[in-house]
């Protein structure tokens, strides 16, 4: 008899009558094929924080109880998992064929590591377990309340034998690294467009206006998600991109996309923008960066991103375009369609790299917009432009250039 069952005083003698365990996946299941007496409710509990589990708390289902405990765990720096499942034939029914009447949810660091023999190859890949026999847990049991079946917390222990994580750390626990549905659509779209994992991550960060490395999931989670999807083959990517865009349009009427097909019936250009990005442009679209320095190695095609900055200095993602080449007609097509998406609202200033074809396209399509070159593109090319010509004087020139640039930042 375990320590947690001592706290469920009303049924400890039943647990002692017969105890045998079956293993289902990663759950330990205790099965009792005998009658269980009717339980009395816990006394009414008052002045309890509604966000903290307490003994006697009632839920409509065991899943509701798990979700509530999981939310509490995330806010307090740990995660939980399902552990023991208790079964009894008396509880078997059409809706409960397994006869489950009690469940145990434990801290993700609960339990101990079982030692087993491993060969030399496995030992190289073995990862250190996080289990440290933490006893924090919550038990819920089925009760009949007003002729309805409910689930009640019968035991709750929130004492941990390990450090709890802060808000930034806890999001990277495996239990919380779920990719939201909205992000899944974006990831699939970018993946089908040929974007590498690093570029997909950067686009998502720009969309959310967060710092690098602040997504609630990791690069490997994105990779695993993409691999879990079917028909990722290159030969189907073009048609899959269009199918994804159509499905996104069906879900969100504000989602915009446009494309062209070449003479060989192959996808030539495609541009898209999400509804929230277009709405952000209405407010923060006065200054826009059109970054075309990304290149999709999978197809050897340039990817252009429209990015802005909000009033808190956070980057905002406005739109994305995949082009066949970096020629004037391609850039012209991209600019025209982006302006159509934002209902003809011209940016007051647009920043780009020093691409001459893009410069010509902007002059034609955005005649009243101020065009400037991004300073980081200029700085990255200083060495190739001036180091040979200036020779030993290049370092002095570079220091003076940066000094003047810093002065400009504070003016």
Mean pLDDT for the chain? Answer: 78
CA distance 350 to 290: 7
CA distance 30 to 91: 13
pLDDT for the residue 3: 41
pLDDT for the residue 125: 52
Question: What whole-number percentage of the chain has pLDDT above 70?
Answer: 77
DSSP secondary structure letters along 295-348: EETTTTEEEEEEEEE-TTS-EEEEEEEE-S-SSHHHHHHHHHHHHHHTTT---S
Instruction: Taking residues 252-263, report their average pLDDT.
Output: 89
pLDDT for the residue 376: 65
| Phi and psi, residue 24, nearest 5° | -120, 110
CA distance 306 to 351: 10
Look at residues 104, 26, 14, 7 and name the one whose alpha carbon lies nearest to residue 62: 104
CA distance 301 to 291: 14
pLDDT for the residue 316: 87
CB of 75 closer than 8 Å to CB of 105:
no
- What angle in degrees, to the nearest 10, is found between the helix axes of 219-228 and 181-192? 80
CA distance 173 to 181: 19
pLDDT for the residue 39: 39
Instruction: Taking residues 231-246, report their average pLDDT.
Output: 69
**Paired tokens of 254:** 């504000």
Residues 6+ apart with CB under 8 A from 164: 76, 77, 78
Q: What is the pLDDT of residues 209-230, one digit of tens each?
A: 777 777 878 888 888 888 877 5
CA distance 239 to 241: 5
In 45-126, the DSSP E strands lie at 58-59, 80-88, 100-107
Query: Mean pLDDT: which of 48-52, 72-76, 155-159, 231-235 is highest?
Result: 155-159
pLDDT for the residue 319: 92
Q: Is the pLDDT of residue 19 over 70?
A: no
Q: Is the pLDDT of residue 8 over 80?
A: no
CA distance 293 to 351: 12
Element at 376 (helix H, strand E):
helix 375-380
Q: Report angle CA 272, 273, 276 to the nearest 5 degrees.
A: 160
How many residues appear in the chain?
Answer: 411
The count of C-alpha atoms lying within 13 angstroms of the C-alpha of 88, restricted to the half-sphere facing its C-beta, is 16
Q: Is the pLDDT of residue 257 over 50?
A: yes
Q: Is the pLDDT of residue 28 over 90?
A: no
CA distances 196 to 190, 200, 223, 294, 307, Å, are 8, 6, 10, 10, 19
Residues 6+ apart with CB under 8 A from 158: 53, 76, 136
**Paired tokens of 351:** 């920043």
CA distances 63 to 66, 68, 77, 88, 310, Å, are 5, 9, 21, 19, 40
List 260's β-bridge partners, or say none: 269
Q: What is the pLDDT of residues 292-350, one digit of tens each?
A: 877 765 667 788 999 998 888 788 889 999 898 899 999 999 999 999 999 999 999 99
List 316's β-bridge partners, or say none: 308
Q: What is the pLDDT of residues 97-131, one digit of tens each?
A: 777 889 999 998 988 877 666 555 555 555 667 78
pLDDT for the residue 37: 40
List 349's β-bridge partners, or say none: 287, 370
Tell me which residue has tokens 């003698």: 13
Query: Mean pLDDT: which of 87-96, 225-234, 253-262 is highest?
Result: 253-262
Q: Is the pLDDT of residue 379 over 80?
A: no
CA distance 289 to 307: 5
Instruction: Taking residues 235-256, report their average pLDDT.
Output: 82
Burial of 276 by CB count in 10 Å (0-12 exposed, 13-18 middle, 19+ buried)? middle
- What is the maximum alpha-carbon separation in the chain? 93
pLDDT for the residue 256: 93
153-162, 169-178, 200-209, 401-410: lowest mean pLDDT where? 401-410
Query: Collapsing DSSP states into helix, strand and coil, what is residue 52?
Result: coil
């Amino acid at each position: 008899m375990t320590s947690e069952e001592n706290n469920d005083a009303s049924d400890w003698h039943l647990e002692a009558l017969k105890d045998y365990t079956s293993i289902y996946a990663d759950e330990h299941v205790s099965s009792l094929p005998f009658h269980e007496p009717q339980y009395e409710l816990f006394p009414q509990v008052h002045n309890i924080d509604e966000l903290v589990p307490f003994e006697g708390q009632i839920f409509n289902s065991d899943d509701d109880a798990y979700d509530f405990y999981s939310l509490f765990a995330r806010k307090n720096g740990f995660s939980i998992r399902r552990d023991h499942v208790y079964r009894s034939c008396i509880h078997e029914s059409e809706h409960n064929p397994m006869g489950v009447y009690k469940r145990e949810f434990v801290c993700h660091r609960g339990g101990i590591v079982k030692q087993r023999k491993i060969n030399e190859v496995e030992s190289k890949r073995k990862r250190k377990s996080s289990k440290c026999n933490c006893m924090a847990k919550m038990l819920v049991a089925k009760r009949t309340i007003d002729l309805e079946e409910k689930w009640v917390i019968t035991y709750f222990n929130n004492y941990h034998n390990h450090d709890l994580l802060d808000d930034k750390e806890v999001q990277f626990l495996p239990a919380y690294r779920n990719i939201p549905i909205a992000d899944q659509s974006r990831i699939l779209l970018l993946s089908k467009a040929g974007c590498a994992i690093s570029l997909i991550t950067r686009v998502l960060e720009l969309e959310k206006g967060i710092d690098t490395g602040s997504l609630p999931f990791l690069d490997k989670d994105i990779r695993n998600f993409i691999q879990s999807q079917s028909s990722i083959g290159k030969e189907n990517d073009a048609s899959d991109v269009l199918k994804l865009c159509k499905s996104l349009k069906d879900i969100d009427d504000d989602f915009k996309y446009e494309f062209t097909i070449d003479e060989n019936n192959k996808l030539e250009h495609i541009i898209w923008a999400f509804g929230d990005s277009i709405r952000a442009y209405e407010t923060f679209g006065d200054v826009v960066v059109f970054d075309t320095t990304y290149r999709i190695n999978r197809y050897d095609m340039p990817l252009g991103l429209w990015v802005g900055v909000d009033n808190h200095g956070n980057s905002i993602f406005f739109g994305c375009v995949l082009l066949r080449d970096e020629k004037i007609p391609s850039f012209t097509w991209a600019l025209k369609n982006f302006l159509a998406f934002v209902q003809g609202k011209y940016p007051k200033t647009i920043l780009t790299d020093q691409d001459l074809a893009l410069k010509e396209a902007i002059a034609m399509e955005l005649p009243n917009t101020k065009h400037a070159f991004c300073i980081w593109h200029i700085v990255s090319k200083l060495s190739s432009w001036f180091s040979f010509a200036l020779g030993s004087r290049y370092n002095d020139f570079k220091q003076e250039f940066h000094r003047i640039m810093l002065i400009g930042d504070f003016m």
